[in-house]
Amino acid sequence: MLKPLKICLVGSGAISTAFAQVLGKNDRNTVDILSIEEDVIFSINKEHINHRYFPTIKLNDNVRATADKSILKESDVIFFGIPSTAIIGYVEENKTLFNPDALLVNLAKGFGNQSNTIPQCLEREVNQPIISLKGPSFAREIINLIPTGMTVASKNSKYFDYFRELFDDTNIFLDFTNDVIGVELSSILKNIYAIIIGIVDAHYDSPNLRSLVLTRSINEMRYLLSRFGGKEKTIFNYCGFGDFSLTALNDMSRNRTLGLLIGKGFFTEYISKKVVLEGKIATNMFVEKIATKRNIRTQDLILKELYRVFNERNYDISNFVKNILAAKPIKEDLFTWF
């Protein structure tokens, strides 16, 4: 049985608050939300409510908030719930404050820099365990205690039992893998293909067509996983098909919503600059990386058509569906089955 833990969640947004509530269910744990938002800190400590993100939900009494980074020295587990673009800089700036025995848990979905995943970047900065925790997980559902599947990814399997106990008797259901890069890439690719599904649905509210493109997307995702160092079977973890289906088919998803906007003709330069769009960044990253690798024909990927949407000024969105259907499906013999 785990000892009482000191848990820190970096960031006071929706996902950090949701996980704080779940982890605070065990009243033996001390759960600190590390924030730069003074109003959020005040509301959590005085009223046990995060007024900015969940104004109707009372947080557990052992959930606290602070701006004092010294709690990092005392924490047994540190969760990063800040945007993917901010994590590496945050760790570079504050790594000397970390408890050297703490587990570092990445909740963010995105690249760490222009060519590497967040764990790959963090491994160059710190010498301590780095865990990925990813899955189909809207924060609103988590904090309302809806059963939620998450994938724990670690190169060292010894941490799997630790996380089983950490989330025991909560609404978080776990699966496990050593394929850290596959989990990270799955969480990035699902945003790209959710945009594609959104564009398709904006043009044709057709179950048949949607299912066709969903299938093509899943096959393309597992092909790309295998080509970029992940394992194809990771697509069947919560972080893979589960997270993709959540993001592609639910209108609470920002990337599906982006696809709907594009498909309806409402995607403007203003929107593209003002909204944080992981899918757009990832699309450009993958296609430009693909172009440097042998034996990957970008013209055979529906991913390439989305790249054209983002990068061709006069792209005719009315041709999007016709163009992706014209692309040759990934051949089965390109896969290495397990």
Say if residue 142 is in the same domain as residue 240. no
**Set 6, 109, 134, 190: catalytic member:** 190
Query: Residue 320: which CATH number?
Result: 1.10.1040.10
**C-beta separation of 306 from 192 below 8 A:** yes
* Residue 280 banded pLDDT, cuts 50, 70, 90: confident
Residue range 201-247, pLDDT digits in tens: 999 999 999 999 999 999 999 999 998 899 999 999 999 999 999 99
304 catalytically annotated: no
Q: Please state, as a whole number, how many other Cβ atoms lie within 10 Å of the Cβ of residue 241.
A: 19
Q: Write out the two tokens for 8.
A: 């820190």
Structural domain count, the chain: 2
* Structure tokens, 87: 């994590």
Q: What single-letter DSSP state applies at residue 241?
A: I
Q: Give domain status of residue 1, yes or no.
A: no
Among residues 286, 261, 263, which one has the least CA distance to residue 271? 261
Lowest-confidence pick of 61-70, 172-181, 326-335:
326-335
Domain that holds residue 106: 6-178
What percent of the chain stands above pLDDT 90?
Answer: 76
Q: Would the pLDDT of 274 be above 70? A: no
Q: Clarify whether residues 140 and 217 are in a common domain.
A: no
Which residues neighbour 2 within 8 Å (Cβ) at sequence distance 6 or greater?
Answer: 162, 165, 166
Segment 51-78 shows an average pLDDT of 96
Is residue 300 assigned to a domain?
yes
101/170 same-domain check: yes
Distance separating alpha carbons of residues 319 and 263, to the nearest angstrom: 10
The pLDDT mean for the chain works out to: 91
Among 130, 152, 178, the domain boundary falls at 178
Q: Tell me the per-residue pLDDT of 115-131, one tens digit each, with 9 for 90 and over.
A: 789 999 999 999 999 99
Does 261 lie in the same domain as 127?
A: no
Does one domain contain both 166 and 281?
A: no
Q: Which residue has the tokens 């089955």?
A: 337
Q: Has residue 227 been placed in a domain?
A: yes
Q: Is the confidence at residue 83, as pLDDT, over 80?
A: yes
324: helix, strand or coil: helix
Entry pTM: 0.92
198 and 155 housed in the same domain: no
Same structural domain for residues 203 and 321?
yes
Please spell the DSSP secondary structure of 177-236, one letter per residue: ES-HHHHHHHHHHHHHHHHHHHHHHHH---HHHHHHHHHHHHHHHHHHHHHTT--GGGGG
Radius of gyration of the chain (CA): 20
- Whole-number pLDDT of residue 337: 42
Given 157, 178, 199, which residue is the final one in a domain? 178
Same-domain pairing of 168 and 20: yes
307 and 189 housed in the same domain: yes
Residues 153-156: contacts with CB under 8 Å, at least 24 apart: 153/177, 153/178, 153/179, 153/180, 153/182, 153/183, 153/184, 153/239, 154/129, 154/130, 154/178, 154/180, 155/180, 156/129
For residues 78 and 114, state if they share a domain: yes
Out of 46-55, 281-290, 324-333, give the one with best mean pLDDT: 46-55
Question: At residue 47, what is the residue type?
Answer: E
Residues 159 and 306 in one domain: no
246 phi, psi to nearest 5 deg: -60, -50
Domain boundary among 124, 150, 178: 178
Q: What is the predicted pLDDT for the residue at 273?
A: 58
Q: How far apart are CA 17 and CA 131, in angstroms?
A: 19
Say if residue 245 is in the same domain as residue 232.
Answer: yes
The predicted-structure confidence for 10-55, as pLDDT tens digits, reads as follows 999 999 999 999 999 999 999 999 999 999 999 999 999 999 999 9
Quote the crossing angle between the two packed helices 278-290 and 180-203, to the nearest 10°. Answer: 110
